Structure 1
Amino acid sequence: MTSKVDEALGYEQARDELIDVVRRLEAGGTTLEESLALWERGEELAKVCRRWLDGARARLDAALAEGETAEEEAGSE
């Protein structure tokens, strides 16, 4: 479950933090406990990014559908 803080993150903020988490995991040198915490944080950040992207896709689809409807209405006049 994402926290209220995560819900307030913008896409770019979540993406940038996720990039940092991945870099830290790839660099190694962390304890198992630290690695698990980073992994869990990365999962939460990925969910935040996915929600933003899903929302953007829904808005784009709605705008495209609205445009098609307007074109059809204009063509029938």
Structure 2
Amino acid sequence: MPIYHLLLGIAISIYLREILAGASFHYYLLTYLPTYSWILFSYFYLGKRQLAKIDRSINEVIFELQELERQFGN
């Protein structure tokens, strides 16, 4: 997951640098700041929530399998 966000950030940087070639520093801030804020938010907040949700569902499946194993007496 971190590699995806790193490569996405690099690709967006290259793209925005090309788009904003003649722009002033204020335009750089107006584009880079929200873009990288969203990338950081999605990685640190949304990504961690998604991983916790997946972890919870995997643990539920493991628990159910352990219950089945216990019922069969193995």
| Fold equivalence (TM over 0.5) | yes
Query: How big is the alpha-carbon RMSD for the aligned residues of Structure 1 and Structure 2?
Result: 1.8
Q: CA deviation at 1:59?
A: 0.7
In structure 2, runs of 5+ residues without a counterpart are: 1-25
2:56 aligned to which of 41, 47, 59: 59
Q: Whole-Å Cα distance in 1 between the matches of residues 72 and 30 of structure 2? A: 61
Using the size of structure 2 for normalisation, the TM-score is: 0.58
| 1:73 and 2:70 aligned | yes
Instruction: State, as a whole percentage, how many aligned pairs show the same letter.
Output: 4
For residues 33-65 of structure 1, give each alpha carbon's deviation from its aligned partner in whole angstroms, at most 9, with x where no partner exists: 111101111112211111000000111111110
Using the size of structure 1 for normalisation, the TM-score is: 0.56
One-letter amino acid matched to 1:45: F
Q: Whole-Å Cα distance in 1 between the matches of residues 27 and 47 of structure 2? A: 28
Structure 1: 4+ residue segments shifted above 6 A: none
| 1:40 and 2:29 aligned | no
The size of the alignment, in residue pairs, is 48
In structure 1, runs of 5+ residues without a counterpart are: 1-29
